[in-house]
Amino acid sequence: MVDTVKAKLKRRGGRVRSRLAKVNKGRARMSVFRSSKNISVQIIDDVAGKTIASASSLEGDVRGATDNKGSNVAAASHVGKLAAERAIKAGVKDVVFDRGGYMYHGRVKAVAEAAREAGLNF
C-alpha cells in the first residue's frame, strides 16, 4: 500500500492531536497549518468547537511587513506574534501547541517561539 504525503501528514496530525487531548486540561489549542507559500494559526476552543483567534500570512498587514513572502521564517514569526496578541485580547493566555503533523523546525518553530515571546503560555 502506497501512502501519499497528505495521508501521512493526516495520520501524524491525528497522533499529535490524540496526545494533546490527553494533556489538554481545558486549555485552548493553537493549531498551525503550513503550506508551501503561506502559514496560518488558529486558537481553537475544542469544547465549544469555536475558533477564538486566528492569523495568517495572507493578511494585509503581515504581507506588508514581510516583503510579500508568506513562506519564510520572518512571516511565520510575525503570524505567531499576531495570533498571540489576538488570543490574549480574547482572554486566552494558556494554550497547547498543535504542530499538526509538521516537524517542530523552521517556520513551525518560529510561530511557537514568537507566540511565547508575545505572552502565550505553552
| pLDDT (tens place) for every residue of the chain, 122 residues total | 568 999 999 999 999 989 988 888 889 999 999 999 999 999 999 999 999 999 999 998 788 776 768 889 999 999 999 999 999 999 999 999 999 999 999 999 999 999 999 999 99
Contact by Cβ (8 Å): 84, 118: yes
Reported pTM: 0.88
* CB contact at 8 A, 70 and 58: yes
Q: Is the dihedral of CA 104, 109, 112, 116 positive or negative?
A: positive
Q: Which residue type occupies 40?
A: S
Is residue 30 within 8 A of residue 13, CB to CB? The reply is no
